[in-house]
Amino acid sequence: MRQILLKIKYLGTNYHGWQVQDNAVTVQEKLQDAIEEIFHERLDLTGCSRTDAGVHANEYCCTVKTESEIDCFKLQGGLNAKLPDDISVFSVSDVDLDFHPRYSCKGKQYIYKIHNSASKDPFLLHRALHYPQPLDDALLDKCAKDFIGTHDFSALCGAKSDIEDCTRTVYDASVTRDGDLVTFSVTGDGFLYNMVRIMVGTLLFINEGKISPDGIPMILEKKDRALAGRTAPAEGLYLNKVYFGGDAIGKEEI
């Protein structure tokens, strides 16, 4: 028996997230279909996390166990030949049998893309949030630093979550601009349901004057979801990087 680590990227527009569901098409289902064509059996896939409908990934990690001796390079080529064009396998490697893509994960980086322009860009449809009003990226970058640290992020957790411990550590958070494209980046040891999208919504509320620029510490302290901003749409969110032991994350090495 061997365990194979697959690193994939995908455009999430056509999928109802990662995890297999009975009544919707998902990324996991498509990848399992491709694996079944190669191995001639339905194999289980273990993913590093769930993603919501419409969310994208520049790096998503999952594992599959098999007794096949297929070469990793050939497996990568075979999977990419069978997968739809909006899903790609960019790395295939053997890992120890006790490796787990979720529990061995030490941190993740998410990015959120905002197209800040008065006019729409059809080439960014479903790939970035169109935000036509002026956006003060320098101010929001300064405000984003208030997310950094170990906090109870209850105020930034979606209502559907049943997690009791909402304490997470954010290593880095920033807002940068490249022309009309504004990117929020956040790296941490873990994230709650809708946490990054609510972070973005909170920053947008600050930009719109609905929340004070110095309001984030108070929101975190009060642990009240009603005090934070809206949940930003899924279309701008990307899982960008998954960190395992030995990877550098923020200013520390795991």
Does residue 96 carry a catalytic annotation? no
Please pick, among 52, 141, 152, 180, the residue that the annotation labels catalytic.
52
Cross-strand pairs, 64: 4, 45
Which residues fall within 8 angstroms of residue 250, CB to CB, at 6 or more apart?
Answer: 107, 171, 172, 187
Could you give the C-alpha distances from 223 to 34, 96, 165, 167, in angstroms and in order? 44, 40, 12, 11
Tokens of 117: 């322009």
Q: Report yes or no: 196 and 186 within 8 Å, Cβ to Cβ.
A: yes
Rounded to the nearest 5 degrees, what angle is found at the Cα of 141, between the Cα atoms of 178 and 237?
A: 65
CA 2 – CA 99 distance, rounded (Å): 11
Q: Would you say how long the chain is, in residues?
A: 254
CA 175 – CA 138 distance, rounded (Å): 7
Residue for token pair 């497996």? 75
CA 13 – CA 67 distance, rounded (Å): 34
Three-state DSSP state, 47: strand
- Residues with a known catalytic role: 52
